[in-house]
Structure 1
Amino acid sequence: MPGAYVALEGGHVVEARGRAPGTACGELVFTTAYTGYEESLTDPSYEEQILTFSYPLIGNYGVREERFESDRVHPRAVVSRELTEDVAEWLEAEGVPAVDHLDTRDLVGGIREQGAMKCGIAVGENATPEDALAELERCPGMSDHHDIGEQVSVSETEIHLGDGDEDGKTVALVDCGAKGSIIDSLVERGADVHVLPHDVTADEVEAIEADVLFISNGPGDPANFEAAQELVETFAGELPLAGICLGQQIIARALGGTTEKMDFGHRGVNQPVRDLESGQVVMTTQNHGYTVADPGDLEVTQINVNDDTPEGLENDELDVLTRQYHPEANPGPNDTLGFFDDVLSLAPRKRLVVAD
């Protein structure tokens, strides 16, 4: 087996077993999900990160392309207690370094105590601890990835026609790293979805004559998505607004709020969320390292049961509806699929007219 070394922020180096060769650096994070590894590995929100699986065995039901959320693996490297041959071969084919046979319980415990940290990985026949440390040394912080939108967004508009009739809604979805199942969830409800580049202009959005402006999930610091924030500022009050995960953070920032980096984020499929009006608690899928600190002009309608961070924001006057978690639930529980029905009911069939 090739040598493998994981260098952690602070200089500590862990030896592991190499499963897919290469070198990488990124922010070391963990997910508590015990299924859905295909969805997690193809989730664009993991761009520029090194993903650690807390569940000990990854790959026990193979690799099937129909479960992918995008067309490639997004984490810069993968860490696990044990990877099956199927997953290791897939990651090697994707050019993504992977290691296993290390104590992931200790690693996850360290992330929980110290927060998400920079990490360098080196895997290969001649790999050394110094190679991993060299990767660590060149690793930027997540807030430094100002071009991260270009890495995960479509470069040209893509149109997905709805499964319904001609009276279906038209959604302008700004792709900041959208999961495929978000698009599918809207299409299945009859919406025509125009998937737009992350830096799309207001004129291009206006030309679509959309019924809803939807800001997608995506990786990293919401402050790096200035164009999407400017769109929200332009169309707030003129067009219903919806967002998921990063989208919630961008909308909050555009409407007078602020965001902040979390210690180690929420990544898993069993995050409990309480609705403040009904008191109902639902289980949710989540993947984010930033959160809304101040909601600005929005009202907090749902919170995380574990730490009280905002999970749902709304403004009835402006027709705004956002969620921090992933209602499309791929992977994860189906408790919150109704969000997409709520989004499409924000506006009757109408066309956009931007005020002068």
Structure 2
Amino acid sequence: MSDAYIAIEGERVVEARARSPGTTRGELVFTTAYTGYEESLTDPSYREQVLTFSYPLIGNYGVREERFESDSVQPSAVVAREMTDDVAEWLREEGVPGVDHLDTREIVTEIRDEGAMKCGVAAGPDVTEEDALEQLRQCKHMSEHRDIGKQVSVDEAEVHNPEGEGERVALVDCGAKGSITDSLVERDAVVHRLPYDATVDDVAAVDPDLLFISNGPGDPENFEQAGEVVEEYVGDLPLAGICLGQQVVANALGGSTEKMEFGHRGVNQPVRDLRTDRVVMTTQNHGYTVADPGEQLDVTQVNVNDDTPEGLENDDLGIITRQYHPEANPGPNDSLDFFDDVLELADGES
């Protein structure tokens, strides 16, 4: 007899085995990553989502805190074909429901056919199918999570590498992965990590050489304050963005964004540079994309699979953004030079 259930939009219920108990809900998505489960599970961009791993075994090299991208597990729940005891114990400690012993291939195929869907999860000895269905009925669309930035951002400003002699970076934290800060600090930048709703005055108080908008979860249109900061400083400061950051920049400068059918989540997404024809493999985790970059931004990189914009730039305004994760935790290191490029922009302006 099953002790876990996933109720998927349309009220189809999938039976599973409970590895970490609880009831919850979220957008059902999948990642094709076959390593880096610790980084994925602590990536704030997975907030309010139920993360399904397409790779069949999750947890085969344990759980080590030094690989975490934030201080907690971020998805609402975790789904795997087989989950090791190490991962199950970690999820129980975090209070995050986890289930396995189900056909994740079927779920991934359904998401690819139908798009990311709302779902409800119920796991534990006393749960029923109705518990999962009730969670599904309460589930919101991602665009309805208007306060999602508050869930994943720092509460107050932090300074990383205060004695550094490099550029001063104002990092607007919309759900930033820790390795973004690490990548900047490794290059001796002084990183001021500001809350997602930082004001123009908050940024001015830092006196930065570079404005950087981070990755994060949900709909970029719900990060209005970050967009206002971009509007204020564009042309006055070099500007960089990763993932959600690219979308926020595009929206702020007259472009538009849209929800993707099932998004890009994995560590093997091919990206082509339109200027050099070079193709790099990238790590990605996003469900929204830039539909129209507007008149001020040029598309410089595209996804090989679907031609969605992966890089936006404006040399005159000093703007470089990437839809993928150049910090590559987990994933290939093909694009680490992004951080050198943006700090070189800042150095030229300081």
TM-score bucket (shorter structure): over 0.9
Contact 2:149 2:174 in 1 (8 A): yes
Going from structure 1 to structure 2, the CA distance change for 1:342 and 1:63 (only over 3 Å counts) comes to same
Counting aligned pairs with the same residue, the percent is 73
Contact 2:80 2:104 in 1 (8 A): yes
| Per-residue CA distance 1:227-247 (angstroms, 9 max, x = gap) | 000000000101110000000
In structure 2, the residue matched to 1:170 is: 168
AA in 2 matched with 1:325: Y
In structure 2, the residue matched to 1:321 is: 320
Contact 2:238 2:346 in 1 (8 A): yes
SS in 1 for 2:201: helix
| Per-residue CA distance 1:96-126 (angstroms, 9 max, x = gap) | 0000000000000000000000000001111
Q: Distance in 1 between matches of 2:212 and 2:346?
A: 13
In structure 1, the residue matched to 2:187 is: 189
AA in 1 matched with 2:321: T
User: Which stretches of structure 1, 4 residues or more, deviate above 4 A after TM superposition?
Assistant: none
Q: Distance in 2 between matches of 1:207 and 1:21?
A: 45
Which runs of no fewer than 5 residues in structure 2 stay unpaired? none
Give 1:347 shift: 2.6
Q: Distance in 2 between matches of 1:11 and 1:258?
A: 33
Q: Distance in 2 between matches of 1:270 and 1:290?
A: 18
Q: With structure 2 as the length reference, what TM-score do the two structures score?
A: 0.98
| Per-residue CA distance 1:221-275 (angstroms, 9 max, x = gap) | 0000000000000001011100000000000000110000000000000000000
AA in 1 matched with 2:56: P
Contact 2:238 2:349 in 1 (8 A): no
Give 1:162 shift: 6.4
Q: With structure 1 as the length reference, what TM-score do the two structures score?
A: 0.97
In structure 2, the residue matched to 1:145 is: 145
| Per-residue CA distance 1:193-228 (angstroms, 9 max, x = gap) | 000000111011011110000000000000000000
Give 1:5 shift: 0.4
Contact 1:163 1:188 in 2 (8 A): no
SS in 1 for 2:180: helix
In structure 2, the residue matched to 1:85 is: 85
Give 1:70 shift: 0.2
Q: Distance in 1 between matches of 2:259 and 2:287?
A: 6
| Per-residue CA distance 1:52-104 (angstroms, 9 max, x = gap) | 00000000000000000000000000000000000000001100000000000
1:300 equivalent in alignment to 2:267: no
Which runs of no fewer than 5 residues in structure 1 stay unpaired? 352-356
1:160 equivalent in alignment to 2:184: no
In structure 2, the residue matched to 1:273 is: 271
Give 1:2 shift: 7.0
SS in 2 for 1:250: helix
Q: Distance in 2 between matches of 1:20 and 1:127?
A: 12
Contact 1:313 1:322 in 2 (8 A): yes
In structure 2, the residue matched to 1:5 is: 5
After superposition, the CA RMSD in angstroms is 1.1
SS in 1 for 2:132: helix
Correspondence list, 1:239-258, <5 A: 239-258=237-256
| Per-residue CA distance 1:177-199 (angstroms, 9 max, x = gap) | 00000000000001000000001
SS in 1 for 2:345: coil
Contact 1:28 1:118 in 2 (8 A): yes
In structure 2, the residue matched to 1:338 is: 337
In structure 2, the residue matched to 1:354 is: none
Contact 1:80 1:99 in 2 (8 A): yes
